[in-house]
Structure 1
Amino acid sequence: MTRMGIGLQMYTLRDVTAVDFEGTLRKVAALGYEGVEFAGYGGIEAERMRDLLQELGLQAIGSHIGLHLLEGNLENEIAYLKTIGAKYAICPWLPQEARDAEAWRGHLVKFEQYGKRFREEGIAFAYHNHEFEFEVELDGQVVFDALYERISPEYLQVEMDIGWVQYSGIDPVSYVKKYAGRLPLLHLKDFRSGEKGGQIDTVELGKGDLPLEAVIAAASESSVEWIIVEQDVCANPPLESVATSIEWLKQNYLSKFE
């Protein structure tokens, strides 16, 4: 089994970072996370963020960059990522009005353009899924698959959210294997309950229904670089939730490398 890095998507801690971004990063490092994936920077200048991450021994994995920022602030986003040493830029989500088949045809063109620009600067562009990419088809193919079939791996990589894959009725283990070699980033989350279209709970790792150990094993064999913990909504205090999740990873994954 190949040792993958353990990261945290900072969106999970958005309520805490809104109060104290730097202090929250210090707590994330103290918990044992090795890298962070951003979803905004809390107004911290790039040079200060770079120095803080270096002080804490945290790797800047990359950042979730909203569609509006890709369209209107691309060069500034590139500059920030380069300053903090991040390798990945990820489109994380699309608004409701931008999800029909016609809109997706436009996204395919734009995503390739963004991917080319990021590549020129040594950054890989990726897309992070939810469930709606499995609900729309382009020429008989679900958008999730069409996206990666029609755009070259040079310009678009996969950031797979296995929670939403399973929620969509697809076996997450098989989908990890399907995208082996093009899947550097894996969002590891756990869902409890969950018939498609019904109420679901995002919970700490090991407290839900996903076959996490099988997913991790498949990821390790599929050239995944980072397992990234993300919990969309935390019933418990968010820092407590991410502490619970990394303890599960220490016991069920990292212990294998001791």
Structure 2
Amino acid sequence: MKIAAQLYTIRDYIQSKEDMDQSFTKIKAMGYDVVQMSGMGVVDDEKATYIKELAEKHGLEICVTHMSYDQLINDLDNVIKYHQMWNCKYVGIGSMPNELRSIEGYYTFIKEANQIGEKLASFDMKFVYHNHRFEYEKYDGKSGMEILLEGFNEHVQFLLDLYWVQAGGASPVAWINKLAGKLDIVHFKDMGVKDNENYFAEVGTGNLEWSAIIDACEKAGVKYAAVERDSGDVGAFETLALSRKYLKDQHSL
């Protein structure tokens, strides 16, 4: 299992070619050899080209992305072209649109996701869906995640965000086990509690059970674990460095 840096964590520092170059230097120095491209805005030919150039310059593998729903629906040919440029086999979406977050919307999204997955499969790529908390809301006793799992075809996988699984009242370990075979990538994100409120924590400083999580990931065949933190008091680069050090020192990852 390779440890990646989820660049959404440093999204404010990758909005130009120059900023991305400097950010990649810092990421590499922390011990990351893999990144997830996310939080970079709409991708066009110019941006895709310099992402490729900078990733190669710094020796960084791009394991997965988060692309916008609009770009996946309306510009999939270019999405495929960009992922081929980056030698990236996993095309991700950060969430389904707000307007589809209903029982009817789930089935509409499943149909669209399966169509995207089928086209990507012809280019040896996988479509991956990143969860939040709302997918654990139940409809007639069945959660949105269960509906997605039952509906996605063999060309659509999950990118399981462990913080949001926990926030949804579910077990990260149980869901890693449940998704084995459809889970090549996870998000390592910790959850702490302060003043009776949950907060995004550096990996190893919150309350998720990392030994059990890592063991489950290895048994499930997870290939990449992308470290992420959405927001917090610790600086964006420092949070990635602290999480990387914990995983290396405490779990030899």
Same fold (TM over 0.5): yes
Distance of aligned partners of 1:85 and 1:40 in 2 relative to their CA distance in 1, 3 Å threshold: farther
2:15 matched to 1:18?
yes
Offset at residue 63 of structure 1 (A): 0.6
Partner of 1:181: 181
Partner of 2:55: 53
Q: Residues 3-51 of structure 1, C-alpha deviation per residue, up to 9 Å, x if partnerless?
A: x101011100011223611210121111111211111546653333223
Distance across 2 between alignment mates of 1:107 and 1:173: 26
After TM superposition, the runs of 4+ consecutive aligned structure 1 residues lying more than 3 A away are 40-45
Instruction: Report SS of the residue matched to 1:170.
Output: coil
Letter in 2 for 1:149: E
Offset at residue 69 of structure 1 (A): 1.5
Partner of 1:146: 147
One of 228, 244, 250 as aligned partner of 1:252: 250
Offset at residue 199 of structure 1 (A): 3.5
Whether the 8 Å contact between 2:132 and 2:165 is mirrored in structure 1 is yes
Deviates more, 1:206-215 or 1:34-43: 34-43
Whether the 8 Å contact between 2:191 and 2:201 is mirrored in structure 1 is yes
Partner of 2:89: 87
Offset at residue 112 of structure 1 (A): 0.5
Partner of 1:208: 206
How many percent identity over aligned positions? Answer: 31
| TM-score normalized by the length of structure 2 | 0.92
2:229 matched to 1:227?
no
Distance across 2 between alignment mates of 1:203 and 1:140: 31
Whether the 8 Å contact between 1:126 and 1:159 is mirrored in structure 2 is yes
Query: How many residue pairs are counted as aligned between the two chains?
Result: 248
Unaligned runs of 5+ in 1: none
Distance across 1 between alignment mates of 2:114 and 2:38: 22
Offset at residue 76 of structure 1 (A): 1.1
Distance across 2 between alignment mates of 1:130 and 1:194: 21
Whether the 8 Å contact between 1:202 and 1:233 is mirrored in structure 2 is yes
How is 1:84-123 mapped onto 2 (pairs within 5 angstroms)? 84-123=86-125
Distance of aligned partners of 1:223 and 1:194 in 2 relative to their CA distance in 1, 3 Å threshold: farther
Distance across 1 between alignment mates of 2:198 and 2:11: 20
RMSD in angstroms over aligned alpha carbons? 1.9
Instruction: Report SS of the residue matched to 1:65.
Output: coil
